[in-house]
Chains A and B, each alone.
Chain A
Amino acid sequence: MKKLIGFVFKLVRRVITIGVVAFVLTFGIYMSNAENKLIYDVVRPFLTKHYDKQARDRRI
């Protein structure tokens, strides 16, 4: 019984820890607008370069 309580306690603690870490992480990303900064400053310029180099089957 004690073991079980210990396990449950651990599980709850782990879930809470994961939850808190996940919250801090995602809320941090959210509030700092990190995903938009990353996309705007890094991902899109990279993709645009790629698109500009693409050979497309252009015709009417």
Chain B
Amino acid sequence: MKEKLISFIDKKLQRFDPVWLAENGLGGQRTRYRDDGSGIARYREWRGVEDTFQDYVAWLKNVGYMGAMVARDPVKVMKGIWEYRWMGSFLGSFAFVDRIYEGYRGRELDIANIHGNAIVRILTLRIGLILHNDKRLGGGEMTDKMIGLDETIPPLFTAGFPTLNAEPMQTMPEFVVCDVDQHLDPYYIDVAESYGLAPDVCSRCSAETGVAIDDAFPVFGKLVLSTNQPCNASEATSMFQRRRFRQKGIEDYPFVFAMQHNTKNGNDYSREELRQAIEKIEEVYNVKYDWNALFEKAKNMNHQNQIELEKWEIFATPFSPLSGINESLYKLVEWALVNGHDEYFNEIDDKVIGIMRQAVRDQYQPYKGKTRHRAFLWGPSAMYYTDFPTWAQNCWGIDIVLNMDSTMGHNMINTEDPEQALTDLAKFSEKGVMRHHAVGGWDNVNAVWEWANRLNCDMVICNDNVACKGMNGVHALLEEQAADLGFDFLFLPHDLEDCRTIPRKEIRKAVNDYMMIVKGEEPLDATLVDFDDAEAW
């Protein structure tokens, strides 16, 4: 009876379903958007009764998480929004969630909403914590017990300081917020360039420099660990940031990792660096490192990585309801921000792997079986176009099976022997965000073909960050390799965090041109081929 009723309503309302509209040549995803380039939809996506209701519940949960963040300390949150430009950008979060999961149905949507809620939960908790303890806003009980970490340092090792709280410095003001609002970082980039920084440096690091110059970092802790991760520009911007931290009375300590991280010498060096960083924290905060506390959280991380390895097996099949941005954004948050510190994420992993196992058993066809190409997305992705994989699937049926960054450190960490744990942690930590494959030599880059084969991909899309000197340096070699090995291969030009250099529309054009001219294919949703979202968040 219930099914009949749902089916009846679905039938009546299907003309509001953009997927149905596209299938029937009557419109598509962009039909419901305002045509002012704002990226604001006139109404939310109708996905059928069940999926719409499920998405509505997930939305309500997100409203709840945000409400809870404000309720915990309304004054500081309001002060934060008033003080920090980047806090204003977080108001685009609802639209962001809609954007990245657009067109999702069934089990893809189930997982997306589980992930989406987990991400919003952790971000609101962390933003709330940072604002509550921000000296600039009055400080809190944890202010002096916080350690500032460069966002690219995996925070797992700080679990050995259970009385302290390590927070990434740049994640909120510059990094993750660029996912939410493409127009924020250009402001900070302009600030940096107004002080003479060349426009051809990596825009992520330029934006970080701008945040430092603009005095827009939250102020907490006694020590910030800066780092050379992932690459040259990160090393260089650290030198600007440390000056600002010092002006705020916060000490800076460079915690560096071997660039060539696949060698014994490199691992030994990173291990020694890790040991010294731990000693530095002990000295500054007058606390002793607690190995047992680390082991507890390392178990979480190992659990996460065990599931991750199983996920990779499922990704190799055509039945995975987890892929694209749903996979990579969650992975990024879980790996780089949570990093074993929060058991809640283990529960999420257990839940999701359950859905995935079932999908394999049922030989489930994700994206209504419309996938035409299985692609590996290589190289650092455009932060201002997080929903690119969603668009690629919806428009062209290109399923981004996995993203380079999702292959970050996945070795298990010994949970009994401190010395071995240190070695494992060093190995794990030096294969961080944008780094595992992008630096450390040609072999790391060249691993793309192995990955693509392993996951049964027929296509490799290589992010072409125009300012990334390291990845620029392998352009022709990659292209020649692709031709030799018979992969569909295309470069996706972007400027990482500066949407003005190569707007989203141009990124899409690179794919459109390839799909239409080289592959001679027709889009799944014609409204998605060419549209204006220049003014969108």
Name A residues whose Cβ lies closer than 8 Å to a Cβ of B. Answer: 26-27, 30-33, 35-37, 39-41, 43-44, 47-48, 50-51, 54, 56-60
Contacts and interface: CB of A to CB of B under 8 A. Distances in A.
Given A47-B81, A50-B82, A33 B41 contact: yes
Given A39-B95, A58-B214, 5 more contacts: A27-B56, A32-B43, A39-B92, A56-B215, A60-B195
A25 to B, nearest CB: 11
B125 interface: no
B274 to A, nearest CB: 30
Contacts of A54: 85
Q: Most A CB atoms within 10 A — which of B95, B98, B195, B240?
A: B95
A59 B213 contact: yes
B40 A40 contact: yes
Contacts of A27: 56
A58 B187 CA distance: 13
Given A32-B43, A37-B40, A56 B88 contact: no
The 9 A-B pairs of least Cβ separation, nearest first, read A47-B88, A57-B215, A51-B85, A36-B95, A39-B91, A40-B40, A33-B41, A30-B56, A33-B44
Interface string B342-365: 000000000000000000000000
Interface in B197-254: 213-216, 240, 243, 247
B56 A56 contact: no
A37 B46 CA distance: 18
Contacts of A32: 43-44
Nearest to B52: A31
A44 B240 contact: no
B312 interface: no
Interface in B140-164: none
B40 A60 contact: no
Given A30-B44, A40-B38, A48-B88, A35 B214 contact: no
Interface string B241-283: 0010001000000000000000000000000000000000000
B86 to A, nearest CB: 10
Contacts of B42: 33
Contacts of A57: 215
Nearest to A22: B60
Contacts of A31: 43-44, 46, 56
Given A27-B56, A51-B85, A33 B213 contact: no
Contact of A51 (B43, B88, B95, B537): B88
A33 B59 contact: no
A18 to B, nearest CB: 15
B94 interface: yes
Nearest to A59: B213
B47 to A, nearest CB: 11
B43 A33 contact: yes
Interface in B176-198: 191, 195
Nearest to A50: B82
B60 A26 contact: yes
B103 to A, nearest CB: 16
B214 A56 contact: yes
Interface string B84-103: 01001001101100100000
20 contacts: A26-B56, A30-B44, A30-B56, A35-B94, A36-B41, A36-B92, A36-B94, A37-B40, A39-B91, A39-B92, A39-B95, A40-B40, A41-B40, A44-B92, A47-B81, A47-B91, A58-B213, A58-B214, A60-B195, A60-B243
Given A27-B56, A35-B94, A36-B94, A58 B215 contact: yes
A33 B40 contact: yes
Contacts of B44: 30-33
A40 B38 CA distance: 8
Contact of A30 (B40, B59, B214, B243): B59
B240 A60 contact: yes
A41 B535 CA distance: 12
A47 B537 CA distance: 14
Contacts of A33: 40-44, 98
A44 B195 contact: no
A35 B38 CA distance: 14
Contacts of A44: 88, 91-92
Contacts of B94: 35-36, 39
Contact of A60 (B41, B56, B98, B213): B213
A44 to B, nearest CB: 6
A26 B81 CA distance: 24
